[in-house]
Amino acid sequence: MTNSLQGQTALITGAGRGIGRSIALELARAGASVGLFARRQDDLETVAGEVEAAGGRALVLTGDVTSKADVDSAVAALTDAFGPIDFLVNNAGRSQPYGPVGTVDPEAWWDTQAIHVLGPMLFMSAVLPSMLERGHGRILNVASMAGVMIGTGSSAYTVSKATVIRLSEHVHAEHHDAGVSVFVVHPGSIVTDMVRTSQKDPAAPQRFGGLKPERAEADLERVGRQAVALASGEYDALAGSLLDLEKPLDESLAAATA
């Protein structure tokens, strides 16, 4: 384990699988103490075991990202255990339901908005007062290029990701002068459990062509390492607008500061 994030506390939602798990493991390897938030305790306990086997510290936090009580309880428990939160990762999400407006179930559609938008809003609202008081903090919101595209039959996902992008831009504009950087990222086209579930859904509007399952593990590790780099502060100039993680961070930084 390296010590680049030694003494920092991170909270990751959707930490039991896929991108969230990879980010949590890499943050822990870099020395951060990590809070693992998701609904399934068994998944979180597996990840916590991996963190602790590598010499890190992890706290399992089960709950629903759309529940203010669960969010506030998780933030309080993690702060009590490891100290104030320095790095928040809003990663929890889902791609369904699929279908054109007028056919898709409006309540299921709205549930996806709640997971992708209300969830990050609740977590940011819970951690920002402490970050602002200390004049230090970083937030990473996982979005998608889908948020700047039209995906017929996929509006539940694309509209929610568009909102995450704009919400992140607002929060960064409101608080970056006080020492808080907000990143919003497209992690890349990665084969995760969420993608596999969508591939099996007959209502999905397309079959996810061009994905490379053989690269899934390497892509997940890449995103985890990039999250560590963003948490370090070295790339704060990239905060405030959608960042494509399929490009090297140094390349994006050079373009942003040219």
Using CB atoms within 10 Å of the CB of residue 122, give its burial: 0 to 12 exposed, 13 to 18 middle, 19+ buried: buried
The residue count of the chain comes to 258
What the block records as the tokens of 232 is: 């370090």
**Of the candidates 159, 143, 152, 64, which has an alpha carbon nearest to the alpha carbon of residue 109?**
159
CA distance 212 to 225: 20
Residue 133 CA: distances (Å) to CA of 55, 75, 120, 130, 165: 31, 16, 20, 5, 25
SS3 144: coil
Catalytic residue status for 98: no
Active-site residue among 157, 160, 171, 185?
A: 157
| Sequence-separated (6 or more) residues with CB below 8 Å from residue 217 | none
The residues that are catalytic are 157
